[in-house]
Amino acid sequence: AATHSVTLRVPLPVGMQGVAPGSFARVWLPGATQGAARYAVPVSAIVRRAEMTGVYVVDAKGTPLLRQVRLGRAQGDAVEVLAGLSAGERVALDPQAAARVR
């Protein structure tokens, strides 16, 4: 997922502990989900090669094909896939074994 730095002004209650002017915070803003299907895959299924992030998708013949995906939030041992997968596609859970299949 892309990260960006922005400056925000947020009104806070007077006397709030643990914050000071000029403080930094890391926040997560949920993206729009209208009409967009979301999928999650195990972190272990993710392949990272240089600038590419992908998963092996198994086709109808059982052949694994490396597919680029765009990832969202990770939660536990799963990570959200924002783009690159469609409903019904099978993802190889062991990318090292999938890479060896010819």
Token look-up 């198994």 returns 58
pLDDT at 33 over 60: no
- Give 5 or 96, the one with higher predicted confidence: 96
The whole-angstrom separation of Cα 93 and Cα 46 is 9
For the chain, give the percent of residues with pLDDT over 90.
29
Q: Above 60 in pLDDT, residue 37?
A: no
Q: Is pLDDT of 32 > 60?
A: no
Tokens, residue 20:
């000071």
pLDDT digits (tens, 9 = 90+) for 40-73: 899 999 999 888 999 999 998 989 999 999 998 8
Tokens 């999928």 sit on residue: 39
The amino acid occupying position 62 is: G
Interatomic CA distance for residues 85 and 67, integer angstroms? 8
Q: Which pTM value belongs to this model? A: 0.63
Q: How confident is the model at residue 100 (pLDDT cuts 50, 70, 90)?
A: confident
- Burial annotation 48-63 (CB, 10 A radius, 16+ → b, else e): eeeeebbbbbeeeeee
Are 41 and 55 in contact by the 8 Å Cβ rule? The answer is yes
Tell me the fold of 39-100: 2.40.420
Q: How far apart (Å, rounded) are the C-alpha atoms in residues 40 and 24?
A: 30
